Amino acid sequence: MKFVFQPLIDLRNKTLLGFEALTRFDDGRGPQEHFSQARAEGRIVELELEAIQGILDASRELPDEYLVTLNASGPTIEAFAASAMKLDERLVWGLELNEESEPCSSGRARQYADTLGCLLLIDDAGVAYANRERIECLHPDIVKLDRSMIINYESSAEVRGMVANLLEAARETGARTLAEGIETPEHIELVDRLGFSYAQGFYYSRGLPVAELAGAMRELNRRVGIDTPGF
């Protein structure tokens, strides 16, 4: 198991907000396959906690004050809150509630995030259980719209309706919004028009090991003018 960090961009200030920490495996199988298998075998909490500990270790080399987000299921967030794992106080931490976490196991995610001193994010809004009801119930700090919402926005009236509904729920609960899957300048124009706060995607950078971030962030500043303090 190894870990990479994908930049999160503040669209208003054109500044690096932080990173989503992502897990990678060396056996050729994608992370979704690993985590889906673990869920089916009843060991999702064990695997996600192992990943969280690895991310905590890898993030020690990041510059101070950046946001680092961790993707986890509802039961794992509960287990993490009860664990002895220590968050690096130099950084700002966010818990991304996985879209496949059933409502019955996720209702106290807001409480657990507050206990840990973390931001709460709804991951992949528009997919599975990551819907308007979840936003209204949990009052997250950030709602991340799934990449399919951005990629299919212009071609699908259904998707446009879903996006409008999710953005309305975010506004009503005071949450900021993050667009995933940004790949082109046209995507940038779209999310700017829709009023997103933050963005993430290959347009900025793929996920990278910590050792490669300094050079990549300098290149990001040169290429699209994103301010990357600390790099």
| Burial classification of residue 161, based on how many CB atoms lie within 10 Å of its CB (0-12 exposed, 13-18 middle, 19 or more buried) | exposed
Quote the tokens at residue 168: 């309305």
Backbone torsions φ then ψ of 191, nearest 5 degrees: -70, -30
Q: Which of 105, 104, 153 is nearest to 126 (CA)?
A: 153
Q: What is the pLDDT of residue 199?
A: 98
Q: What is the pLDDT of residue 58?
A: 97
Q: What is the pLDDT of residue 8?
A: 98
* pLDDT by position in tens, the chain (length 231): 999 999 999 999 999 999 999 999 988 888 889 888 988 999 999 999 999 999 999 999 999 999 999 999 999 999 999 999 999 999 999 999 999 898 887 889 999 999 999 999 999 999 999 999 999 999 999 999 999 999 999 999 999 999 999 999 999 999 999 999 999 999 999 999 999 999 999 999 999 999 999 999 999 999 999 999 999
SS3 71: strand
Please name every residue paired with 177 in a beta bridge, in sequence order, or none if there are none.
143
DSSP structure string for 135-151: HHHH--SEEEE-HHHHH
**Which contacts (CB < 8 Å, 24+ apart) does range 24-27 have?**
24/207, 25/1, 26/1, 26/2
Q: What is the pLDDT of residue 28?
A: 80
Q: Within 13 A of 163's CA, how many CA atoms are on the CB side?
A: 26
Rounded to whole angstroms, how far apart are CA atoms 38 and 40? 5
Task: List Cβ neighbours of 175 (8 Å cut-off, separation of 6 or more).
Answer: 122, 135, 139, 140, 141, 142, 143, 169
Q: Show the DSSP H helices in the chain as ranges.
A: 31-40, 44-58, 74-82, 109-116, 132-138, 147-151, 157-173, 185-194, 210-224
Backbone torsions φ then ψ of 19, nearest 5 degrees: -145, 145
